[in-house]
Amino acid sequence: MAKDTLKSLSHQVIYQVYPRNHSNAGTFAGVVADMDRIKDLGVDILYLLPIHPIGEAARKGTLGSPYSIQDYRAINPELGSIDDFKLLIEEAHKRGLKVMMDLVMNHTSRDHPWIQTQPEYYYLNKEGKMGNKVGDWSDIQDLDYDYLPLWDEMIDMLKDWVKLGVDGFRCDVAPFVPVDFWIKARNEIKKLNPDHIWLAESVHKEFLRHMRDEGFLCHSDGEMYAAFDVCYDYDIFQEAEDYFKGKKPLSAYIDRLQL
């Protein structure tokens, strides 16, 4: 946890929803229709996978990956409108549920408008061309956080979603983005909502080592906790995996939890 993380957060339940697959309708309205059931499960935080328009260039499959973002400030029309999303937030808040958005800050789709209008926002590979650092992520272009004006652009975008009523952010592959950016973003968002929730998708230690060996920035869980309330528990994943494979006793996992 970060230094100012609310202790009560450790007892809250997060329920992940992929709106496109959650109901037959595949819309925000389909999620709203199921909210009473979700609340009755004892859920505190409704976490939505990415809701932005999906890129079409180099799209994976027919529908594309929701992690290939074409516009950070827009809603995927297949899910509904901005008013539909506002209604979802209102209905969640009526039930005492917080709403967490999934945000992809490391990269955009290959047809994001910035490709043409703000090419300086993007990472360039050894050949001087826009690209991505992870080979099989073929439908995206990585952003370049060494270019500091990008920070202001991204933080302004985050503020707009918070002003709309969003209570938390789950940040995709957060360790690829400088922790100093996350600290600044957290401090700025705190001015709007002191209780805003930050969840980092941290990375497995083998992937962390691989990225660093390739010469790329990749933060550890410990580093990410400077800015995030919650990280994926990859720092104890090995003990959990070893237990399920019969290689270690459950006590080894519990001991790691208590460190």
Q: By C-alpha distance, which of 32, 34, 55 is closest to 139? A: 55
Which H helix or E strand runs over 171?
A: strand 168-171
- Of the residues 167, 201, 221, 229, which is catalytic? 201
Q: In one letter, which amino acid is 23?
A: S
- Of the residues 172, 221, 229, 239, which is catalytic? 172
Strands 140-142 and 107-109: antiparallel
Is 235 assigned a catalytic role?
no
CA distance 10 to 106: 27
Is 172 assigned a catalytic role?
yes
**C-beta of residue 38 within 8 angstroms of C-beta of residue 15:** yes
Q: By C-alpha distance, which of 190, 198, 204 is closest to 233? A: 204
Q: Which residues are catalytic?
A: 172, 201
